A and B are shown apart, each in its own frame.
Chain A
């Protein structure tokens, strides 16, 4: 629960790193024993962070367990990732934006490659909650299959998830079962499309292609011109 005294001493950096590593391992073990096979992936960065990927069916239960069972009372944020690479290319040095349906599109590697804690589907919902007493956070992830873009709502557990789920719904088109009112939050009512999906074109870029990187000349203060040139080539 909350700490009411304001005279706590600051946490010492050195000892914390080793300690929290063990603590995170214990935390992961607790979640694994509670949910068993429903924990389908995890990633632990020692002394830094913890990711846990749970099955979609265990999403709401995992949130509830973290809040009531493990003291992660603080709701940080909830959002989603679209792992399907953009058909328009994503490098800044592309002189022209590629358009859908043209031959160039096939040149882009469209293979889906998920991030930490793995994944099986194009869309992944992720949320972060914090245990403020121990100063730790956990990022939970869950895969959402393409043919049924829905997942349980966290609103009954964390009231703050309400707006985040509305944002996620309009930006990715993922619906949240049990949400009290999935309405547009930023975009006007009746807006079509889900702007944060990778295949949603960024119209400003399409109308006026980005000129690419022009600022590669030597700048004052760069002492080693060879080094700068080398890295430029590397990037190209």
Chain B
């Protein structure tokens, strides 16, 4: 009797397994899986009802509204300066960036221009909000696929940026610092030097994250080729920010449609990635944080002197008209369509938030993926619930 070789043995086992698949009728029953409303991958209370066939998703339906606060209605009974208090809470990890497009829209209607120094400080804080927001993503993305360390690094180093935002504005999360015509205050003494130190720390944080995740076999296996968004589908769903740039679309409002902010005077680059998968979205965001730290450094160096507030009336009445201003916020394009009838309060404010569009692709994108990939895809699309529900 000849000994059966390893190769033959494996072949035999494979043949047996193939037979078993053919002969035994495996009955699968559809199953509905509720993910959320409370789930670490959802950054708030988003519920996803997924209909499964085995491990595969047949249909996914995101259900939101658990945090709908009706800001569009509330804005109609608040004066323009009061609205910034509300909209601070839309994307609560990069709050300052929320205020900017609304203030710019109001300034456009009033035909007021902020002094150069105010525009520069706005841009600094705008980019710092981006760093505070996306560094959370960089830590969180690892957490979604099982790596806990990046999250701790992210929370440790994000603190440097939040401290600087707090030092300048008085608020870590809800600065409410932007005013029609400029800013509430000038920067405190010594802030510039401290900010540059913080940027250095953020850059080394980016290197750490890159070392931990990029090239990591598990991370790559979980992210590469998962949740691929073709460029034309992304455009038709209105995806923006890193999500669309990761699909190879070279579009950045900061460069293509600068409005009120001073990005056009800086030396920086728009990063894109051709793949459109979860890894590409992670990679583009990582580069964006690096780019932002460079921008903040340049802004700190070139900060012009002068007042931070233009002359505006104490009680602000905005002339009748309609204006739409959008900026490239941490989560994507955020815009405000402001309709004024010449009153103290806006007549209608349509808030175009990035996450609402970004997440509207999920029913299309989650079709056919496996259950563990849902978490990767949601994590890589990166949304903040306040930005969806408003």
Seen from chain A, the residues whose Cβ lies within 8 Å of a Cβ on chain B are 1-8, 10-11, 13, 49, 51, 67, 73-77, 79, 81-82, 86, 90-93, 113, 115-116, 126, 128, 132, 135, 137, 139, 158-160, 162-164, 171, 184-188, 195-196, 200, 202, 205, 210, 213, 216, 222, 227-228, 231-232, 234-235
Q: Which residues of B contact A5 (CB under 8 A)?
A: 250
A218 to B: closest C-beta gap in Å: 9
The residue on A at minimum CB distance from B237 is A160
The residue on A at minimum CB distance from B270 is A6
Are B324 and A139 neighbours in the complex by a CB distance under 8 Å? Answer: yes
The interface size of chain B toward A, counting residues with CB under 8 Å, comes to: 62
Are B356 and A4 neighbours in the complex by a CB distance under 8 Å? Answer: no
Are A185 and B65 neighbours in the complex by a CB distance under 8 Å? Answer: yes
B49 to A: closest C-beta gap in Å: 12
Q: Which residues of A contact B389 (CB under 8 A)?
A: 186
User: Which stretch in B144-152, B197-205, B208-216, B345-353 binds the other chain?
Assistant: B345-353
Are B315 and A213 neighbours in the complex by a CB distance under 8 Å? Answer: yes
Select B257's contact among A135, A184, A200, beta carbons within 8 Å.
A135
Kindly supply a per-residue 1/0 record for chain B positions 209-252, scoring 1 wherever the CB is within 8 Å of any chain A CB and 0 otherwise: 00000000000000000000001110111100000000111110
Q: Which residues of A contact B68 (CB under 8 A)?
A: 186-187
With A and B bound together, what is the CA distance between A116 and B347 in angstroms? 13
Q: Does B64 contact A (CB under 8 A)?
A: yes
Q: Does B166 contact A (CB under 8 A)?
A: no
With A and B bound together, what is the CA distance between A205 and B345 in angstroms? 15
User: Which stretch in B10-18, B73-81, B295-303 binds the other chain?
Assistant: B73-81
Q: Does B170 contact A (CB under 8 A)?
A: no
Select A76's contact among B270, B322, B348, B352, beta carbons within 8 Å.
B352
Are A90 and B345 neighbours in the complex by a CB distance under 8 Å? Answer: yes
- Taking CB atoms and an 8 Å cut-off, the chain B residues in 45-89 that contact chain A are 64-65, 68, 70, 72-74, 76-79, 82
Q: Which residues of B contact A231 (CB under 8 A)?
A: 313-315
Q: Does B30 contact A (CB under 8 A)?
A: no
- Taking CB atoms and an 8 Å cut-off, the chain B residues in 303-322 that contact chain A are 313-315, 317, 320-322
A21 to B: closest C-beta gap in Å: 15
Are A3 and B250 neighbours in the complex by a CB distance under 8 Å? Answer: yes
The 9 closest A-B pairs by CB, nearest first: A186-B65, A135-B256, A160-B238, A160-B237, A231-B313, A235-B315, A186-B68, A3-B250, A2-B249
